[in-house]
Structures are given as structure tokens and as C-alpha cells.
Amino acid sequence: MKGILPKVASIVLVFILLITIAGCSGQTEPEVLRVATTTSLYDTELWDTLESTFEERYNADLQITAKGTGAALQLGMDGDVDVVQHL
């Protein structure tokens, strides 16, 4: 599958994971969730649309880092992010 559909499906899966993580917290302070994503997905601006809605609904602070595929995966392997989103 080419096009936007795989990218949307990938973001939906990441958000399901983020919702699960955010839902487990009883804190009143926003939970910081560090996300590494590929630049090609970030450039679609879909993250911009979804980020504020997610943060408000789940009392979270998403810190999204866009990198090339190798660099994004390395951030995950090094433990520098909580979630890696890659297509």
C-alpha cells in the first residue's frame, strides 16, 4: 500500500499505544511522552493536527522528534524516546 493510508494507520497505532500509557497514569501533571518519527511522516503535518488534541484529552506532553529512519530507530534503541513511529 502506498500513499497516505499506511501513514495514517501507523499514527493510529502509535496513538493507541500513547492512549494506553496515558490512561495508566493517575497524575495531575502532564505525562511526558517522547516520540521519534520519520521526517517523511512528520512532513505530512498529521502530527501537528493530532498532537494538541491528544495532549488536552489525555493530560500528556508529547515531545515529537523527527529524524531520518536510522536516527529515529537509534533514539529508540538508546532509550532516548518512549515510542518510535516508523513506516
How high does pLDDT run on average in the chain?
A: 81
| pLDDT value at residue 24 | 58
Residue 62 is predicted with a pLDDT of 93
In this model, does residue 61 exceed pLDDT 90?
yes
* Spatial contact of 1 and 10, defined as CB atoms under 8 Å apart: no
Higher per-residue confidence, 79 vs 22: 79
Q: Which three cell numbers stand for residue 20?
A: 494506553
Domains along the chain?
A: 4-85 (3.40.190.10)
Quote the pLDDT of residue 40: 85
Find the range with the poorest average confidence among 27-31, 56-60, 63-67.
27-31
SS (H, E, C) the chain: CCCHHHHHHHHHHHHHHHHHHHHCCCCCCCEEEEEEEEHHHHCCCHHHHHHHHHHHHHCEEEEEEEECHHHHHHHHHCCCCCEEECC
Residue 1 clears pLDDT 50, i.e. is over it: no
